[in-house]
Amino acid sequence: MARKVKGIGLLSGGLDSLLAVKVLQDQQIDVVALTFVTPFFGPAKGLAAGEMAGVETRAIDISEVHLEMLKNPRYGYGSRLNPCIDCHGLMLREAAKNMSAEGADFLFTGEVLGQRPMSQRRDSLRSVEKLSGLDGRILRPLSAKLLSPTRVEEEGLVDRSMLLDIQGRSRKRQRELALKYGLKEYPQPGGGCLLTLDSFTNRLRKLLDICPGATVADVELIKWGRAFMLPGKTICMVGRKESENSKLEALAGARDIVLRACDHPGPTCVILAPNGPFDLETATSLAASYGDAPQGAQVTIEWREGGVEGGGAAGKLMVVSKPKEFFKSLLI
Ligand code: SF4
């Protein structure tokens, strides 16, 4: 009996990748899907889309290699800190590692020619292919008829006549296809990547600027609470609510300093991995001033190296609570 053709799809969670699965299933191609985990986006939408499409979907954590790519992307950034071409290339390269184990013939994505200004131009799709190292084995079922035939089409594994010719930013064809396939509650396009948000990328830029060797753990920490740049160039995170305090405490590692008020309810603060002498004075002031202690009150702040239970240096300092405006210029 002839072996079924098999493709591995990259599921971002958007409608386009869902439709790409459907278009290939129309020609009885076996499909499995992958979705990725980094500090900047998670697998939830991709896994939900996989369930909607009825395909087995696995999440792969590429946090470390993605962060290293982000520090120096070959094709640069989009309008924020989003290295979309390199990001797509990396995801395809990681997906390619699964091809022989899966017995897959090709990879595919839901990319649509001309839909995104940076990453979905004709030349960008070529660049992504080059970065992935998989020349001719990456299929874009939604725009395939507008692109040069891939090897899998030339070899007759995929019927090119059943692929599509969608291009541009209009979503009309995708909406019609969603109706055809009975997809009623499909995900909306865009969103979900922190690298496209000013609020996050401002702090990430600062972190990478002062600490080029920043780790995934450092990036996880700057997601929670207010961020301040202390004199001496270290970042201090200050929790705004209990859930953020808990996150900061859980994430603080051996190189971080955790601060909390002893005698008043207040935020958990974390000084990120200081490389040298750190500005304990400003950090303790922040811990005192963003808590419930009245202005001008004396507050005892406990600090500890290496997280809440850490075994590093530790101590207590008495500081006076100041008005929050005092720290405005340090906010990132
Ligand atoms: S928006 Fe984010 S997840 Fe999407 S390709 Fe760009 S960097 Fe990658």
Q: What is the pLDDT of residues 270-314, one digit of tens each?
A: 999 877 677 899 999 999 999 999 999 999 999 998 876 767 888
At 219, list the tokens. Answer: 């990036």
Q: Determine which residue's CA is closest to atom 5 belonging to ligand 1.
A: 84
Residues of the chain with CATH 3.40.50.620: 6-194
With a 6 Å cutoff on the Cβ, whether 5 touches ligand 1 is: no
Instruction: Report how far ligand 1's centroid is from the alpha carbon of 82 (Å).
Output: 6
pLDDT band at residue 153 using 50, 70 and 90 as cut-offs: very high
pLDDT band at residue 189 using 50, 70 and 90 as cut-offs: low
With a 6 Å cutoff on the Cβ, whether 157 touches ligand 1 is: no
Query: Long-range pairs for 304-309 at CB < 8 Å and ≥24 separation?
Result: 304/257, 304/258, 304/259, 305/254, 305/256, 305/257, 306/252, 306/253, 306/254, 306/255, 306/256, 307/249, 307/252, 307/253, 307/254, 307/256, 307/258, 308/249, 308/252, 308/258
Residue 317: helix, strand or coil by DSSP?
strand
Q: Cα separation of 229 and 241, whole Å?
A: 20
With a 6 Å cutoff on the Cβ, whether 137 touches ligand 1 is: no
* Mean pLDDT (whole number) for 53-68: 96
With a 6 Å cutoff on the Cβ, whether 201 touches ligand 1 is: no
Pair type for strands 6-10 and 257-261: unpaired
Instruction: Report how far ligand 1's centroid is from the alpha carbon of 61 (Å).
Output: 15
Q: What share of the chain is helix, strand, coil (3-state, %, to 5)?
A: 40, 20, 45
Q: Cα separation of 91 and 87, whole Å?
A: 6
Q: Report which of residues 280 and 164 the model is more confident about.
A: 164
pLDDT score of 120:
83
Report the residue among 40, 84, 88, 92 best suited for mutation to probe ligand 1: largest number of ligand atoms under 8 A from its CB. 84
pLDDT tens digit sequence for 3-52: 799 999 999 888 999 999 999 999 999 999 999 999 999 999 999 999 98
pLDDT score of 217:
95
**pTM to 2 decimal places:** 0.92
Instruction: Report how far ligand 1's centroid is from the alpha carbon of 45 (Å).
Output: 14
Instruction: Report how far ligand 1's centroid is from the alpha carbon of 311 (Å).
Output: 38
pLDDT tens digit sequence for 225-265: 999 999 888 999 999 999 999 999 999 998 899 999 998 99
Q: Determine which residue's CA is closest to atom 6 belonging to ligand 1.
A: 84
Helices (H), the chain: 15-25, 44-53, 63-71, 84-96, 99-102, 122-132, 151-154, 172-180, 198-210, 216-221, 242-251, 280-289
The CATH architecture to which 6-194 belongs is: 3-Layer(aba) Sandwich (3.40)
Instruction: Report how far ligand 1's centroid is from the alpha carbon of 260 (Å).
Output: 36
* Mean pLDDT (whole number) for 56-60: 97
Give the other-Cβ count within 10 Å of 328's Cβ: 9
Terminal CA-CA length for the chain: 62
- CA separation (Å) from 325 to 290, 301, 322, 330? 11, 20, 8, 10
Residue 139 phi/psi, 5-degree rounding, is -105, 140
pLDDT score of 190:
62
| Amino acid (1-letter code) at residue 252 | A
pLDDT band at residue 191 using 50, 70 and 90 as cut-offs: low
With a 6 Å cutoff on the Cβ, whether 75 touches ligand 1 is: no
